Structure 1
Amino acid sequence: MQLGIHALVWVTDWTEDTICYAIGKTAETGYDLIEAVIFDPRDARPAATAKAIAAAGIGVVTGMALNPAADISSADPAVAKAGEQFISDAILATRDMGSNLLGGVTHSAMHRYGQAAAAGTIDRVIETYGRLAVRAEAAGIRLGIEAVNRYESNVVNTIDDAARIVRTIGSPALFAHIDSYHMNIEEHDTADAIARNIDTIGHVHAGESNRGYLGSGSVDFPDYFRALVRASYNGPVVFEAFSPAVLKEGVADALAAWTTHWTDSEDLATKGLRFMRGQIDAATTSLIARHPLPRREVNSPFV
């Protein structure tokens, strides 16, 4: 697994200065990659990002979220069209950063819906993903569908929801994006959900229930990482945490990150990386102990 960290641990804006700062701190802390956030494809600064990534010697993936004015699940054709254009532009920005993966809430606006999705919503979403998959494949990008909790979407809340879309489209350009924070709310059995959908999973977030230090909340991380190791997942795992100590007010509001669970980005990042490595090592050791390699018979005159 390639271990990464979310850019919002370091910065809110994505300017020339903050790009260099966030990418530099990510490399300095020892992560393999950073997840850059595309709030608006017009402000993604792919050339500056690609330059900083090359200088730091790490990798980059991108993430995004739709909004009420650009939402492919909307019954308003203009809003749905704006959402499709947003994702299409984000695909190109991702490509130009030197990344091959765009994850996030690509299926609907990330906000609180007042009712369940109306009849026909998922059909519109699937139809749109069919077109987006063609564009993503042409750009050499894999496009993610992140399952998020009921307070942030009424379209894709579980891994099964995301995996169903991926399997329906049948394109290698689409994948399910999972997040321990959301699974802790929505899944009946995290390990089982991962096991039955591992063929579709292409990106993983490790986030605590309180959006703070890993291990400080209610997420069962030993179970989470055991499931990933057992399923032989070998893609990115990105540590995600949010705090008003770093985020600007509008972004903090969008994420409901109003409680300050941490203030020191570097300490958080360092301990997060150590925590994830420890969980992966423990899960791997446990798996080997349960399923040891068969003893090899050696037939040699020198033994």
Structure 2
Amino acid sequence: MKIGFNLLLWTGHVGEDHYPLLRDIKKTGYDGVEVPVFEGTPDHYARLGEVLDRIGLERTVVTIMPSLDKDPLSADQATRKAALDHAKWFIDCSAALGAPIIGGPIHSVHGHFTGSGPTAAERKRGIAFHRKAGDHAARKNVRLALEALNRFECYFLTTMQGLADYLDEVDHPAVSGMYDTFHANIEEADPIKAIRTIRRHMSHVHISENDRGTPGKGHVDWAATYKALKASKYDGWLTIEAFGRSLPALAAATRVWRDFFPSPESVYRDGIKNIRKGWGRTR
């Protein structure tokens, strides 16, 4: 098991001004960081990867499908091509960074709704998109980890059962799924049982409190969560994802209107204690 921290708490684009933060995250005991890839070039991420190597931090990536002109579910062929080109770009950036996993809702445009549930045609287009994106990811030695979001952020994939069924149909070795405790807390009748549901496809886990604050300060059942993950033989990343108000666009998208913690530093310093204590207690 490895412990990571998602850098979206501070920024959507990691640069030189974040290097002191990266060093402190390493000093705190983290194995790696989750780097947002929303902009930039592969060269930028290659340089960042060299910095992370020197600091001693491994890395994963988080990203999204950002806009309707890059919608993989669109009925318009040109729009779907733009979505695939965008996916190839973030895969190339991730490979340059040295990140083997790309997590996030990379199946539909974040925050976009049609007014109804997903259609059979959208599902067919999504599967075709992920098979093509998976081919490119495989060539770059990268794996996609699709994230189901709660119904207030997404309509296409919202539950672990829905995600698992979808990935069964995609049936691509470079396309997997992830489990996020925040979204499961909203959407799953039994968040712990849902871990077993997605386990056959699960390659990544987000540790996120029910209010998006510090893990251990809310009502997520961490003891049962860690016990279920360990019982499932999961041995990948446990990456803390918490959101604040430093990025107005992200705060608006995730509906963060108030502070959930005294400081960002308290999140990663207290959060790692929650994981170490909870994981260590389970058998």
Q: TM-score range by the shorter chain?
A: over 0.9
Alignment-derived partner of residue 79 in structure 1: 79
Alpha-carbon distance in structure 1 between the residues aligned to 2:10 and 2:255: 18
Structure 1: state its 5+ residue gaps.
Answer: 285-303
Higher alpha-carbon deviation: 177-186 or 215-224 = 215-224
Alignment-derived partner of residue 294 in structure 1: none
CA RMSD of aligned residues (A): 1.7
Which residue identity does 1:30 align to in structure 2? G
Alpha-carbon distance in structure 2 between the residues aligned to 1:129 and 1:192: 26
Alignment-derived partner of residue 14 in structure 1: 14
Q: Is 1:99 equivalent to 2:99 in the alignment?
A: yes
Higher alpha-carbon deviation: 128-137 or 254-263 = 254-263
Which residue identity does 2:237 align to in structure 1? P
Per the TM alignment, residue 12 of structure 1 is displaced from its structure 2 partner at its CA by 4.3
Number of equivalences: 281
Per the TM alignment, residue 15 of structure 1 is displaced from its structure 2 partner at its CA by 2.2
Post-superposition CA distance 1:35-75 (Å, at most 9, x none): 00111254882122111111111100001011233221223
Post-superposition CA distance 1:14-48 (Å, at most 9, x none): 22322x23422221211001000111254882122
Alignment-derived partner of residue 119 in structure 2: 118
Alignment-derived partner of residue 145 in structure 2: 144
Alpha-carbon distance in structure 1 between the residues aligned to 2:255 and 2:281: 33
3-state SS of 1:117 partner: coil
Alpha-carbon distance in structure 1 between the residues aligned to 2:182 and 2:51: 30
Per the TM alignment, residue 225 of structure 1 is displaced from its structure 2 partner at its CA by 1.2
Show the 5 A alignment for 1:1-303: 1-18=1-18, 20-42=19-41, 45-69=44-68, 70-113=70-113, 114-244=115-245, 247-284=246-283
Q: Is the 8 A contact 1:212 1:242 kept in 2?
A: yes
Post-superposition CA distance 1:144-196 (Å, at most 9, x none): 11011011111111112222232223222111111000000111212222113
Alpha-carbon distance in structure 2 between the residues aligned to 1:21 and 1:102: 24
Runs of 4 or more off by more than 4 Å in structure 1? none
Alpha-carbon distance in structure 1 between the residues aligned to 2:131 and 2:42: 26
Q: Is the 8 A contact 2:73 2:80 kept in 1?
A: yes
Q: TM-score normalized by structure 1?
A: 0.88
In structure 2, the CA distance between the partners of 1:12 and 1:64, relative to structure 1 (3 Å rule), is: closer
Per the TM alignment, residue 115 of structure 1 is displaced from its structure 2 partner at its CA by 2.7
Identity across matched positions, percent: 27
Which residue identity does 2:231 align to in structure 1? R
In structure 2, the CA distance between the partners of 1:154 and 1:38, relative to structure 1 (3 Å rule), is: same
Alpha-carbon distance in structure 1 between the residues aligned to 2:143 and 2:85: 16
Which residue identity does 1:32 align to in structure 2? D
Per the TM alignment, residue 80 of structure 1 is displaced from its structure 2 partner at its CA by 2.4
